[in-house]
Amino acid sequence: HVLLQGGYMGGFLCHCFCTYVCRHAESHRCGQIEGSRSHAVFLSAAKQHMEQRIVCEIPDAVIIASAVPRLPGTSRIVIPGLAAEKQVMMLDLQGICVSSGAACSTAVLRESEALKNMGYPSFYAQCSIRVGLCWHTQQADIDRFLHTYIDMVKMSTRDDIQ
- Active site (catalytic) residues: 104
Max Cα–Cα distance, the chain, nearest Å: 53
Closest to 71 in 3D by CA, of 134, 152, 26: 134
| CA separation for the pair 70, 51 (Å, rounded) | 13
Write the CB contacts of 126 (distance below 8 Å, at least 6 apart in sequence). 83, 84, 111, 161
